[in-house]
Amino acid sequence: MNKMEFMDKMNRDLAPLPEHERNELLARCEECFRIGQEQGKTEEEIVAELDSPSPQPETRYEPAYAGSPYGGAPYNNPVPPPPQAWSAPAPGRPHEPDRDVPRFLGVGILLLFLNLLLAIPVFAALIAAFVSVCIAALSTMLAPLALVAETSLYGEFTNAKLMMSLGMTGIGMILADVAFLFGKGLFRAIRAYAGWNYKTLKGRTYR
């Protein structure tokens, strides 16, 4: 097989490859023929060398030549692998300084005395007031039922008692609204105060 026949065969065999890869291979084949002819070899000898190249272990070729019928590139120079995409290293966990134990103990003791002497009594009084308002609202709203029970037991019914029970029901509804708003605000205050205690005890050292 001479050079022209070999190049035609290569062109047909490498047709599935992309055009730029196929052209690169054919150009390398032309270069192999030129070098071989300068060394005094015939076209048949060069074709024989290209058809059965000498094995070279640990040689890496371009992955695009894996489908070639010749098992690799028709030249001995290895093609370097494509560059890998650079990826940023994963961010490490920030360094956490050592805990300031004396400060932690001192702040904890101060918060303990503050809560025992001031915060807990104040919040206990507010909670007691909230419970009292809830009980008052419930008892006044049940005034009509109390009137019904009194009438069924003693048989004494007057229009004044009816009007009074209805008035007490209205007052109970107002107290229920007040209790709802008061309880909502009290819950927010307790949650905010607990969060302040946590942040104060935690401090900058624990962030």
Helices (H) and strands (E) in the chain, counts: 7, 0
Per the CB < 8 A criterion, the answer to whether 36 and 75 are in contact is no
Kindly state the tokens that stand for 6: 């070999």
Query: Which pLDDT tens digit goes with each residue over 57-95?
Result: 444 444 444 444 444 444 444 444 544 544 445 555 554
Measure the CA–CA gap between 142 and 111, rounded to whole angstroms. Answer: 43
Query: What's residue 92's pLDDT?
Result: 53
Kindly state the tokens that stand for 94: 């920030």
> Does the pTM of the predicted model rise above 0.85?
no
Helix (H, G, I), strand (E, B) or coil at 52: coil
- Residue 128: count other Cβ atoms within 10 Å of its Cβ: 10
Measure the CA–CA gap between 165 and 177, rounded to whole angstroms. Answer: 19
Query: Which pLDDT tens digit goes with each residue over 99-158?
Result: 578 888 888 888 888 888 988 999 999 999 999 999 988 988 888 888 788 788 887 777
